[in-house]
Each structure stands twice: as C-alpha cells, then as structure tokens.
Amino acid sequence: MFTVGIIGRPNVGKSTLFNRLAGKRIAIVDDMPGVTRDRLEYIAEWEGKKFKIVDTCGYDLREELLKKEMIKQFYASLDEADFFVLLVDAKEGLHPLDEMVCNILREREKKFIVVANKVDNEKLQSFVADFYQLGVEEIIPISATHGKNVDILLDKIIENYVEDEEVTDFIDSIKVVVVGRPNVGKSSLINSWLGDERLIVTPIPGTTRDSVDTYFEYNSKKYTLIDTAGIRKKSVMFKDKIEKYGFYRSYDAIRRADIAVGLIDATEGVTERDVKVIADAYEAGRPVVLAINKWDAINKDEKVGKKFKEEIAEKFKFLNNPPVIFISALTRKNIFKIFDAVDNLYAEYSKRIQTSKLNKLLEHVQMLHQPPVVKNRRVKFYYMTQVDIKPPHFVIFVNYPDSVHFSYKRFIVNQLRENFGFKGVPLIVSYRKRGEET
C-alpha cells in the first residue's frame, strides 16, 4: 500500500498531524519531546485513494539507550515509506536537525514535501520563508492543531500517489491486542511475528506509551496487531502525565480490538497484576488467548509444566477454558500457534444462533430446572433472541426481570455454552420485561 511517512525532529507536531490525517486521536500528543517512541500506522483515505500514514519518532542525536533505539526506528521508517512529509516548526524557525533530516532524505533519494507546522495566524506566515534555505521549491504552511491547509497537503500526497497492484485493505482485519504488565515481552512478540524490529524493545519499563497498530498478513488472513503500554497500578502510572495517557490508550485499544493476547512472563509466574490486566480485557467483552512467554528460560520437567497449567486453570477460571500457549518471543517458538487460537476464538466470538434454537433451549432450561417463585410469583420466561455479536449478546424476555436469581442466570449461561460452544468467549445475557425494545 502507498505509504506516507511523517518525519522530522522531535516536538514539531508529527503526532498532531498524524491524528489530523487519521481523523481521530491515535497518537499521544504532548509538548514533551520524545513522546512518540514507536512507529504508528493508520490507513487514511482522500479523494477515493487509500494510503497508509506512518508517524515516526523524532530524529535526535542524544545518546541515551532509549534514544538510540528510537534512531533505529527512524532509519527503519525510511525504508518503509514511498513519500515523506518533512515537518518543521514555523514558530522556532530552521533548526540544524531539520537540515540533517532533509539531507538524509536526499541521500536516500526519497520523495518528500516540506510542511511548516504551527502557522496558526497570518503573522506566522512570513516565518515560512526561512525554510527555503533547505533548497526546496515548495513549502506548505499548515496548522495541524486547527486543520488549516491540511486539505492542500492531502492533495499534494495524492499528486504523488502510486497505485499498488495489490492494495491490502486491513479495515476488516481481525484486531488483536497484546496486553500485559510492563516487560513481559509484548513488543518483542509483535516484532517476532513481523520478523522486524518495528517496536522499540528495551529493559526500561514504560518504553511503549502509545497503542501501536501494525498491519500483518499470515496464512492469507489479515490482522491488525495492537501493542499496548504495560499496565501498572494507577497509583504508579498516574504519577507521570505521559504514562497516564498510555494507561487510557491501552484500555481504548482493548475496546477497539476483537481478541486479546494476554502475555505472562513464565520466569515470574502468574502475578496479581497479570490476573487484573487480563480480567479487565475479558470484562470489556474481549476473548483472551493466554500466551506464556519466556518458556524457554524455565528449567522445566513434566511436574513444572503441570504445576504451571494448574495455576493458570485456577487463577483464570473466569475466562471459561481459554486457549493457553507456551511460547518464546525470543526464539519464536510456538508464536504462530497464537493465530490458530485467535481464529478459533474469533469464529466463536462472531457466531450467531438462530432464534428458534434459542427458544428450544429456553424451554429445555425450564424443564431441567424450574424457575423460582419470588414473592409468591413464579418467574416465567417467554422468549430468547440474540441481538449482537462480538461479544455475543442475548436478550431473554421475562415477566419479572429483577427477580431472576444470579444462580439461575449462571445456569442459563452454562446451558448456552454447553449447547452452542462459545468456549473462551464472554457472553452477555440481558433480561427484559415483555414488550420492551431490544
């Protein structure tokens, strides 16, 4: 797919422009340099043309470990995009790093357009001339924050658009979010799937701050892979403003995903934080594949494996028999088995049951276990229908909805699973008085 990279030094507004082109707030935006650490991707559309936009980390020369990893990401993005938007800051004027990035693009023979950001008023328009020192014929002044002239920029992108012979459309792909506490290997797993260091991996907790979408095809099936910030306790994460954004972004990612891969570090066992993070994903209505990472680092025998499985079964019994896969993101062992589990869960997650079958089950349920009498009134079930999928949602019409005991509700859910499957999938069953809208 035709790919447009947004490139430049830190804090010129790349993420703000990315969000503007995407039409939604995807990248974390803050005045602090270095907020964007991984490459973010989104499929945008203009004038009937679909293209991928990539938000890159800013080009910087500081020597910290994290900065070195970000520079690696910067250079990797140069090989990925077909056309670049070199974003500069009109308010600050020409910067030596702007010249360096421009020279890098020329050396690599990359097509690009210089775009001066933060031109929020006519007074700032005159500042744009400074950037002609870069030796370019055209500069587009914009305000990414207010949307000024972004349509002109999009027109310029379409002028340089090259149609792919095979345009891969991931809009209907299965969205897979990888969740877990910090440093369990979420970014490493996605990089291992891709065979490419697209996401920054360091021993520093909190390296990933954005929820990063990556488009991926495996066995002729399309997936959107979503890496998330490691979720720690709110009391810890909320001390840092950017990490707080990452916390909310992670939960947004879970809500827009179809399936969650809950990653657990085998060397540390199942912790309370693991259970909490994965429970949050399931309670949000997302089926979970449990992936036990770093299994290669365990000195194990049959007893160790059996004990670990028993611990998982006990602590995650609320997941209703989830798939469990022992993997190594480092050696790539078993990592692609996760997609088999994802496909199976997605089929169950998307399943619809005919209303006639549901009502036969409802009759059978009442024969097996007669509804209770509440305040001298027998609870009577009239009708059941499925109103939604992903997650499956059923509505049962009953004379006294508030009188259905939780134990009977659990009995009905168990009968749904026993008769129709839904293994590992959260189910929603609502009770309404006859005559109410579904």
What CATH number is associated with residue 32?
3.40.50.300
Is 187 a known ligand-binding residue? Answer: yes
**Domain match, 145 and 27 both:** yes
Q: Please tell me the least confidently modeled range out of 123-127, 134-138, 310-314.
A: 123-127
Q: Decide if pLDDT at 230 tops 80.
A: no
Q: Which two tokens stand for residue 120?
A: 């929020």
Per-residue pLDDT band for 170 (boundaries 50, 70, 90) equals low
Annotation-wise, does 102 bind a ligand? Answer: no
23 has a pLDDT exceeding 50 = yes
Looking at the fold, whether 100 and 199 belong to one and the same domain comes out as no
Of 78, 89, 209, 101, whose CA–CA distance to 144 is shortest? 89
**Beta carbons within 10 angstroms of residue 68's beta carbon:** 13
φ/ψ of residue 425, rounded to 5: -110, 130
Q: Band of the pLDDT at 37, cuts 50, 70, 90? A: very low
Residue 319 lies in a domain: yes
Domain range enclosing 204:
174-349
Instruction: Judge if 216 and 296 occupy the same domain.
Output: yes
Judge if 291 and 386 occupy the same domain: no
Q: What distances in angstroms separate CA 156 from CA 4, 47, 112, 125, 160, one per listed residue?
A: 11, 12, 10, 19, 7
> Is 183 labelled a binding residue?
yes
Residues 420-425, mean pLDDT to the nearest whole number: 95
CA distance 102 to 195: 29
124 and 75 belong to one structural domain: yes
Consult the annotation and say whether 184 binds a ligand: yes
- Rounded to the nearest integer, the mean pLDDT of the chain is 82
305 marked among binding-site residues: no
Torsion angle of C-alpha atoms 370, 374, 376, 382, degrees rounded to 10: -50
Query: Rounded mean pLDDT of 64-84?
Result: 68
The answer on pLDDT for 219 being more than 80 is yes
Stretch 416-433: mean pLDDT: 95
State whether 215 and 81 are in the same domain: no
pLDDT at 84: 94
Say what percent of the chain tops pLDDT 70: 81
Q: How many distinct structural domains can be found in the chain?
A: 3
Q: Is 232 annotated as a binding residue?
A: no
438 within domain boundaries: no
Domain final position from 349, 378, 411: 349
Please check the confidence at residue 197 and state whether its pLDDT lies above 80. no
Residues 411 and 429 in one domain: yes
Q: Is the pLDDT of residue 224 over 90?
A: no
Report the pLDDT value the prediction gives residue 28, as an integer from 0 to 100.
39
284 is in an annotated binding site: no
CA nearest neighbour of 12 among 127, 92, 100: 92
In a domain, 90, yes or no: yes
Cα gap 113→153, rounded to integer Å: 9
Residue 373 pLDDT: 79
Q: Are residues 204 and 109 part of one domain?
A: no
**Residue 169 belongs to some domain of the structure:** no
Same domain, 51 and 129: yes
257 and 338 both lie in a single domain: yes
Q: Is 166 inside any structural domain?
A: no
Is 435 annotated for ligand binding? Answer: no
Q: Does 58 count as an annotated binding residue?
A: yes
Provide the pLDDT confidence category of residue 298 given band limits of 50, 70 and 90.
confident
Q: Is residue 164 part of a domain?
A: no
